Structures are given as C-alpha cells and as structure tokens.
C-alpha cells in the first residue's frame, strides 16, 4: 500500500540558480530618457505596471497636471523598455516623446559646458 514517490517539484524562481550571461556590459556614459504624458489619475497604475516589468526603468514627475514623466533607463535596455511601454499602452493611455523636447537644451549638455 505504498504511494508512488512524487516527482521533485521545481524550486521557486527566487531559489533557482542565476542564468549565466555574457561578459558584463561597459557602463554607459549617460542614461536613456523618454518623456511620457498621461492623465494624473493613471500615474499609480503606470508605476505598478513598470514594476511588473522588472523595474526596467524609473521615472520622475516633471509636471503634475497634466502628468509629464521623465523615464530614465539604461541605454542597453532601450528595446526592452520600448517593448514594455508598447504592452503597457494596451492597459492605459499615454503618449511617449523623445527626450529632450525639440528646441530645449539637453540638461546633460548644458551641465558639461563651463
């Protein structure tokens, strides 16, 4: 009346071994940046969705109404960030713009000048 041994369950993701990746990438000279415009009531949902994509970027609020966010990310992750934004746009409406806005100086460029 013995029971058959159960197959070993796979360990949860946090306990699995780390994937081997290639050699580390060189540190970038500057971060990638994008601007996002969305309704102020959607900022919390946007933060939640961004966290669901492994915190591939972070943002800071430049203007509260209408919400203007500066999204900052590693340039090596730009494709992943843009793909995440494309998927997130199916859940909430927002508009992505390039940083800096046309006609405005880039803050990193002006900081480097004497």
Looking up residue 37, the CATH number of its domain turns out to be 3.30.70.240
pLDDT of residue 19: 62
Classify residue 8: in a domain, yes or no.
Answer: no
Cα 52 vs. chain centroid, distance in angstroms?
9
Q: Is the pLDDT of residue 16 over 90?
A: no
Classify residue 20: in a domain, yes or no.
Answer: no
What residue numbers bound the domain in which 88 lies? 30-98
Mean pLDDT of the region 46-56: 90
Neighbours of 2 (CB within 10 A): 4
Report the number of distinct structural domains present in the chain: 1
73-111 per-position pLDDT tens digit: 999 899 999 999 999 999 999 999 998 866 656 655 544
Cα 72 vs. chain centroid, distance in angstroms?
8
Classify residue 70: in a domain, yes or no.
Answer: yes
Instruction: Please provide the DSSP assignment of 6-71 as one string.
Output: PPPPPPPGGGSPPPP--SPPPPPSS-EEEEEEE-GGGHHHHHHHHHHTTT--EEEEEETTTEEEEE
Classify residue 61: in a domain, yes or no.
Answer: yes
Q: What is the reported pTM? A: 0.66
pLDDT of residue 113: 47
């Amino acid at each position: 009346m013995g029971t058959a041994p159960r197959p070993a369950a796979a360990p949860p993701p946090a306990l699995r071994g780390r994937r081997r990746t290639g050699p580390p990438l060189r540190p970038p000279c500057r971060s990638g940046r994008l601007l996002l415009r969305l309704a102020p009531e959607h900022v919390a949902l946007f933060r939640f969705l961004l966290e669901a994509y492994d915190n591939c970027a972070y943002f800071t609020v430049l203007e509260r109404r209408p919400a203007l966010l500066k999204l900052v990310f590693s340039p090596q992750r730009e494709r992943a960030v843009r793909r995440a934004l494309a998927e997130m746009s199916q859940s909430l409406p927002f508009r992505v713009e390039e940083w800096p806005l046309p006609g405005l100086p880039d803050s990193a460029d002006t900081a480097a000048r004497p």
